[in-house]
Amino acid sequence: MDVKAKAKFVRIAPRKARLVVDLVRGADVIEAIGQLTFNAKKSSPIVLKLLNSALANAEHNHNLQRNNLYIKEITVNDGPTYKRWMPRAFGRATPLRKRTSHIEVVLSEKVPSTEPKVKAKEQPDAPVEVKPSAVKKTRKPETVIESEVNTGSQDAEGQEVVDVRMQGKHRHQENQDARTRHEKSFLKKMFRRKSGQ
């Protein structure tokens, strides 16, 4: 059973990443993790993170044992190159090429296991019985009478029912009321002026 993991668009040159990848190609997973942990190259943590991801895929998705895995394939391919410019003397500019990498790792078993690799979904044998106490009771919406709201009436369960609808005005209604008040006062003043002459 082969397990894959990929890291794409990694901001490191493929030539630099291949130096580290060549160290661990074909090695046991545990040995490779030890190599990458104590390696001083910049790409070591990147490759270690990818290897841990592949290992997690193998253990979680396929029920494979960590001690039985080795690195079957590990490749570094070129990703897109970002073009940048560096200012130089006399107003010139020199191109910079920031390269990226696509790293892929394939883990495989040293000794093939006979157990089923993928977990089978558990199917219930008999239908599950639902207890009536487990079912949540939902109440039907009741119409509230205004006289009951003021007195603080109680519903069938003994809880107090309070209707909060239209207790306070909405902002747009308040603004509209203020606008109409302003218009009325403005018209009064205007007509008073004209009629006063």
Report pLDDT digits (tens) over 72-100: 999 999 999 999 999 999 999 999 999 99
- Predicted local distance difference test score (pLDDT) of residue 180: 74
79, 157: one domain? no
Residue 54 lies in a domain: yes
Counted domains in the chain? 2
User: In angstroms, what CA-CA distances link 100 with 13, 29, 43, 69?
Assistant: 5, 25, 12, 28
97, 169: one domain? no
What is the C-alpha to C-alpha distance for residues 79 and 100, in angstroms, rounded to an integer? 5
What's CA 104's distance to the chain center, in Å? 23
* Beta-sheet strands, E only, within the chain: 3-10, 69-78, 82-87, 93-98, 101-109
103, 57: one domain? yes
Residue 141 lies in a domain: no
Structural domain harbouring 69: 3-109
Q: Give yes or no for a contact between 141 and 48, defined as CB atoms under 8 angstroms apart.
A: no
102, 151: one domain? no
- Look up the pTM and report it: 0.57
Q: Give yes or no for a contact between 85 and 96, defined as CB atoms under 8 angstroms apart.
A: yes
- Predicted local distance difference test score (pLDDT) of residue 163: 62
What is the C-alpha to C-alpha distance for residues 146 and 158, in angstroms, rounded to an integer? 18
- pLDDT tens, the chain, 197 aa long: 899 999 999 999 999 999 999 999 999 999 999 999 999 999 999 999 999 999 999 999 999 999 999 999 999 999 999 999 999 999 999 999 999 999 999 999 998 877 655 554 555 565 666 565 655 555 655 555 555 445 555 666 677 766 656 565 555 666 677 777 777 776 666 666 555 55
Give the up-direction half-sphere exposure of residue 29: CA atoms within 13 A in the CB hemisphere.
25
167, 101: one domain? no
